[in-house]
Structure 1
Amino acid sequence: MDDLDAWKKLARAHRGVTLELAGFVASLPARTIPAATEAVLAKAVVDAIGCGLYGLTTEWGGILHRFAAQQGGPAEAALWGGGGARVSVGHSVLASATAVHSFDFDDHSRAKIHPGAVVIPVALALGERVGADGRRLLQAIAAGYETMNRVSQAANPARARMRGWHLTGTCGTFAAAATASVLLGLNAETTASALGLAGTQSAGLWAFTSDGSMSKRIHPGKAAQDGVTAALLAQAGFTGPRHILEAEDGGFLFAMSDAPRPQRLTEGLGTLWHSDATCFKPHACCGSNHACIDAVLELLREQRLAVSDVQRVVAGIARVVQTQTGFDYEADSVLNAQMSLRYNIAVAMMDGQAYLEQFTPERIVEARVVQLARRVEIEVHEDVDRAYPEIYGGRVTLVLKDGSTVSRLVEYSRGMPENPMPHPEVERKFLSLAGAAVGQEQAAAILAQANGLFAADSVAPLNQLLATSTVAGLRPRSH
């Protein structure tokens, strides 16, 4: 049996999984979200908004913000940092979802996706338009996170990534459509149609690291916009393919991956909540690099080593991560600095952290850190590779100038569910990010509203604060 025949057999065996997933999404308003899941999603709301406010201070965040303001549309949703401006839901989420992902500091999961960047902006913008209360927002956010994780897991994220896809973009449309479907109150059949329309708009390619371009930042913005459009069209009666995920000819899973796992779409549906395994970032860079950052910082601290004691560094990682972040460091853009494992390790060694200050245009070209980055060697570590992406591990070995070596393997970096950031730590991160963007007083007011969102009667007060906030550095472009 050749690969095509095997795929067709697999597709036929799982025919109906899109409808089954849609039925789960449509039934969420009648379900009780587990307390543990709600607690994780409460952190996700805070984290996404903090990342989004800071993202508006970046060049690319500002460009999308101005673009959304210029496009306008019906005044139905807040434009974050827009001086009280209101635009269409589609343009609101295009700008805010891009902003959340604008500094690669937003939440992620082992499915190699960034769900918060897509789901939270859709929930806030469309939630205000339809007058949703906090409980309906929780249900919608849970639907989005669960859908995005399951679609990516079913595509087999490591294999799909090796085909050049950026899964936050490709799977994000499904997440946005699921979130919107709950808020719009769509039934199972119409939700399946929304997922079908979302899937046929799926996009997101990894070519941004070839030249450090801005395209990575916009992927969640477009996914959010297209997923909302899909749900609104489905509500209006425009039909989409209700077997979009499993169809053997042109279905998402068989188009995106050479080793799809359609059974992952429905395994444990309603009892296994992938949201619970959301990862929050303490380092402002690619999540696949965090284990090596933690490992090198632990080695320097515990061995009481200075950078001057180190001759060279060897990082052992998974094969996918080598492709993704193991490229030679050229100091050509902030994005490539955030993606580069060599730079991440080097700057963490020199500064004791990999936070906002380590990813400025000035810092990423500083001669001493560039020289150290070029002394970092990358190799595939077979044990780490076998475990990835279920375990985002990394092993660092320091070869010292006296000829000795010290090594550390980190399997669960800070922020992973096995080594979590508690809610107060996420709040401190929020205040650091949002405070830099809008000032500490306004950041504290937004945090209070965000923390109370799931118990609120309306999302309007939070959106009003987001819309009227003045973001540092966000200025209209002169012509």
Structure 2
Amino acid sequence: MDNLDAWKVLSAQHDGITRELARFVAGLRAEALPAKTRAVLQQALIDALGCGLYGLTTAWGRTMAGFAAEQGGPPEAALWCGGVRVSAGHAALAAATAVHSFDFDDHSRAKIHPGAVVVPTALALAERVGASGAQILAAMAAGYETMNRVSQAANPSRARMRGWHLTGTCGTFAAAATAAVLLGLDAETTASALGLAGTQSAGTWAFTSDGSMSKRMHPGRAAQDGITAALLAQRGFVGPRKILEAVDGGFLFCMSDTPRPWKITEELGARWHTEETCFKPYACCGSNHACVDAAMALMSEHGLHVDDIEQVIAGVAAVVDTQTGFEYRADSVLNAQMSLRYNVAVAICDGGAYLPQFTPERIVEARVCALARRVNIEIDDEVDRAYPEVYGGRLTVLARDGRRFSKKVDYSSGMPENPMSAAQVERKYASLASAAVGDDAADGILESARCLFEGPSVTPLAERLSEARISGDVHNP
């Protein structure tokens, strides 16, 4: 049986999954959310705000914000740190690009960055429609759950190996689901919105070939296109309501040679993928975090010094080797953030992988670049079999005196099994937001974010985001 024949069987078995997901989204209410889901979404909101504010210090974040300001549109939503109001779509475009602008935003085992898409979509459209905090919470839950399930159904490792950037391709579905809740769409209209979102899906991994800015843009366009999809559906513009399961041109079959359509509805309403969100302690690709943890642990546990090291071997999954195992080229902050070799080398040298490790000056420093060239990468069969359910990694350090040290990390810092606490997420927010807009503005935004879900509207938070200004002395990565 070839792929098409197999897919026809799967499609028939799972006919109606788009509509079933749409019914779930349309019926979602804040009071139905488990306490843990609510708590994770509170952390996700704060984390995204910190990442977005810092993202506006980058050249690509500022460029997209300037573009959104020029495009304008009806004054529906605040442009973060811009002092103007633009259309909800353009506000989400700029904010979502900013959140993903330093690769520090949340992620999941579905190989997606949901916060970058969902939070800006929810905040922008909530201003347009005058939504309450409870409605925003429900909308965010719909977006997170939809994005995770669509990516899992596409089979993220296989889709990634086809060159897709799943944050972009699955993000349109997340934004449409978020918007559908805020617009109060019924199930059939929500299915149309999902269909219109899916047919606009885009985003490929070509950015690592030359360190381009396109990766940063993918969640921005996903947010904007998802809003457009929901608004068109609300007006009666009908989208393909079998966008996920269609045999010819359905999203799942387009994305992957081994799609898993049952993941769309499996334990729907009982298992909340939102609760498995990973918050990043390191400003680099999440698939590299296990090796970063292992590098710092080995240096500390064995009292090693950089000058002691002859060679490093990173054992990772095949997908991670493809994604981040390229030869390190000190040509852009993006490639430094994606490079497993650089991430391991700078963690060994500095004992960290935070903001100072990803500046234009640091990524070209001779000592760390020399060590990066001595980091070799191999496929570790045990790690490969477990990925992406386990984002693991094994690091082996060979010392110049012949000693050999090895450490395997299954659950790196920030994973659900080894989570950052709410206090740690807030400290991360403070370090990012204060660097971008100063302590007072950062504190005010955090105060509004903490009480958003219990409040009557998004207005206090939106006003503080609009009024904040990027500090003139911020170092621009």
Q: TM-score range by the shorter chain?
A: over 0.9
Q: How does 1:122-271 map to 2 (within 5 A)?
A: 122-271=121-270
Tell me the TM-score normalised to structure 2 length: 0.98
Q: What runs of 5+ residues in structure 2 fail to find an aligned partner?
A: none
**Quick one: structure 1 residues 255 and 453, their matched pair in 2 at CA, closer, same or farther if it must change by over 3 Å?**
same
CA distance in 1, matches of 2:2, 2:64: 46
TM alignment of 1:112-131, pairs within 5 A: 112-131=111-130
Supply the distance in 2 between the matched residues of 1:307 and 1:351 (Cα, whole angstroms).
9
* Alignment partner, residue 306 of structure 1: 305
Within 1, Cα distance between the matches of 2:442 and 2:31? 33
Offset of residue 131 of structure 1: 1.0
Q: Match of 2:349?
A: 350
How do 1:80-479 and structure 2 match up within 5 A? 80-82=80-82, 84-473=83-472
**In the aligned structure 2, how far is the partner of 1:432 from the partner of 1:388?**
31
**How big is the shift at 1:250?**
0.3
Deviation for aligned residue 1:2:
1.7
CA distance in 2, matches of 1:396, 1:452: 42
- The one-character-per-residue Cα deviations of 1:117-168 (angstroms, maximum 9, x if unpaired) are 0000011010111111111111000000000000000000000000000000
Following superposition, the deviation at residue 472 of structure 1 comes to 2.2
Secondary structure class of the residue paired with 1:28 = coil
Contact 1:155 1:256 in 2 (8 A): yes
Question: In the alignment, is the contact (CA less than 8 A) between 1:56 and 1:474 conserved in 2?
Answer: no
Q: Distance in 2 between matches of 1:436 and 1:301?
A: 29
**Is the contact made by 1:170 and 1:223 (CA closer than 8 Å) also made in structure 2?**
yes
**1:324 and 1:39 mapped to 2: Cα distance?**
31
2:35 aligned with 1:39: no
CA RMSD for the aligned pairs? Answer: 1.0
Partner of 1:50: 50
Quick one: distance in 2 between partners of 1:117 and 1:108? 9
Q: Partners of 1:15 and 1:194 in 2: how far apart?
A: 18
AA of the residue aligned to 2:217: I
Shift of the 250–101 alpha-carbon distance from structure 1 to 2, 3 Å rule, reads same
- Are 1:71 and 2:71 an aligned pair? yes
2:198 and 2:47 map into 1 onto residues whose CA distance is 27
Contact 2:198–2:243 (Cα < 8 Å) also in 1: yes
TM-superposition CA deviations, 1:285-316 (whole Å, max 9, x none) = 00000000000100111111111111110000
**Comparing 28-37 and 381-390, the one that deviates more:** 28-37
Give the superposition deviation at 1:473: 4.6
Structure 2 CA distance for aligned equivalents of residues 368 and 462 of structure 1:
44
* Distance in 1 between residues matched to 2:473 and 2:8, nearest whole Å: 51
The residue aligned with 1:21 is 21
Distance 1:388 1:77 in 2: 40
Q: Secondary structure at the match of 2:12?
A: helix
Does the aligned pair in 2 maintain the 1:384–1:393 contact within 8 Å?
yes
SS in 2 for 1:408: strand
8 Å Cα contact 1:62-1:474 kept in structure 2: no
Contact persistence 2:30–2:137 (CA under 8 A): no
**Secondary structure in structure 1 of the residue aligned to 2:32:** coil
Match for 2:150: what amino acid? V
> Structure 2: which amino acid aligns with 1:46?
I
Partner Cα separation in structure 2 for residue 404 and residue 325 of structure 1: 27
Per-residue deviation at 1:441? 1.1
* Structure 1 CA distance for aligned equivalents of residues 246 and 15 of structure 2: 7
- The residue type paired with residue 166 of structure 1 is H
CA distance, structure 2, for counterparts of residue 315 and residue 395 of structure 1: 6
User: Is this contact kept in 2: 1:57–1:473, CA < 8 A?
Assistant: no
Q: CA deviation at 1:404?
A: 1.4
User: For residues 89 and 111 of structure 1, what CA distance do their matches in structure 2 show?
Assistant: 27
In 2, Cα distance between equivalents of 1:322 and 1:30 = 40
* 3-state DSSP of counterpart to 1:406: strand
| Contact 1:77-1:86 at 8 Å conserved across structures | yes
CA distance in 2 between partners of 1:464 and 1:350 (Å): 42
Instruction: State the SS of the aligned residue for 2:310.
Output: strand
**Could you tell me whether the CA contact under 8 Å between 2:383 and 2:393 is conserved in 1?**
yes
- Is 2:413–2:419's contact at 8 Å kept on the other side of the alignment? yes
Q: SS state of the match for residue 120, structure 2?
A: helix
TM-score by length of 1: 0.98
How many equivalent pairs are there? 474
2:4 is aligned to 4
Secondary structure, counterpart of 1:240 in structure 2: coil
Retained in 1: the 8 A contact 2:89–2:228?
yes
What letter corresponds to residue 209 of structure 1 in structure 2?
A: T
Contact 2:96–2:116 (CA under 8 A) maintained in structure 1: yes
Segments ≥4 residues shifted beyond 4 Å: none
Cα displacement (A) at 1:29 = 2.3
Provide the rounded CA distance (Å) in 1 between the counterparts of 2:254 and 2:328. 32
Measure, in 2, the Cα distance between the counterparts of 1:279 and 1:29.
24
CA drift at 1:451: 1.1
CA deviation after TM superposition for structure 1 residue 474, in Å: 9.8
Measure, in 1, the Cα distance between the counterparts of 2:4 and 2:86: 46
Tell me, yes or no, if the aligned pair for 2:30 and 2:135 is still in contact at 8 Å: no
